[in-house]
Amino acid sequence: MSTTLTNAKPRRALPPLMQLSDAAAERLRSLYAKGQEGMLLRIAVSTKGCSGMSYDMSWVEAPAATDEVVTDKGLTVLVDRKATLFLIGTTMDYEVKALSSGFTFVNPNEKGRCGCGESFHV
């Protein structure tokens, strides 16, 4: 006896692994064109902070075998493969405030953040 599925539901498209906001793209272009020319930004998630996880960014010369390559707005960033499940659907932004500036992450997988905002949990 053979069974055939004829009415299989179409698969829902996965959200992109990561996206860049316009502000993040503009800042990365500036960094890539100046002091970090020839380098790539790698984004990872490490276990630290009071909520358990923290975003970790570093400059590398080339992708590692364990990196996912993300291209958005004509720019390339790398995501450590171990971080992909925590980052699916995340938007990387760049914020300038009165006393600080830096990259931030809008991550739909976050369930909470610590009081200081340095770490998160899923």
- pLDDT tens-place string over residues 3-13: 555 666 777 66
User: What's the CA gap between 121 and 53, in Å, rounded?
Assistant: 6
Q: Model pTM?
A: 0.77
Whether residue 104 is contained in a domain is answered as: yes
Domain that residue 37 falls in: 18-115
- Asked if pLDDT for residue 1 goes beyond 70, the answer is no
For residue 52, being part of any structural domain is answered with yes
Confidence of residue 36 (pLDDT cuts 50, 70, 90): confident
Residue 35 has pLDDT above 90, yes or no: no
When pLDDT is cut at 50, 70 and 90, the band that residue 76 belongs to is very high
Task: Determine, yes or no, domain membership for 90.
Answer: yes
Total domains in the fold of the chain: 1
pLDDT band at 114 (very low <50, low <70, confident <90, very high): low
| Structure-block tokens of residue 118 | 């340095």
Find the Cα–Cα–Cα–Cα dihedral 15, 54, 23, 116, rounded to 10°. Answer: 130
pLDDT of residue 111: 62
Q: Answer for the pair 77, 70: CB distance below 8 angstroms, yes or no.
A: yes
What CATH number is associated with residue 56?
A: 2.60.300.12
Q: Is residue 5 part of a domain?
A: no
How many angstroms separate the CA atoms of 13 and 77, rounded? 22
Amino acid, single-letter form, for residue 44: A
Residue 105 in any domain: the answer is yes
Q: How many CB atoms lie within 10 A of CB 71?
A: 10
Residue 121 in domain = no
What local confidence, expressed as pLDDT, does residue 94 receive? 95
Looking at residue 14, its pLDDT comes to 65
83 part of a folded domain: yes
Residue 120 domain-assigned (yes or no): no
Tokens of 11: 């698969």
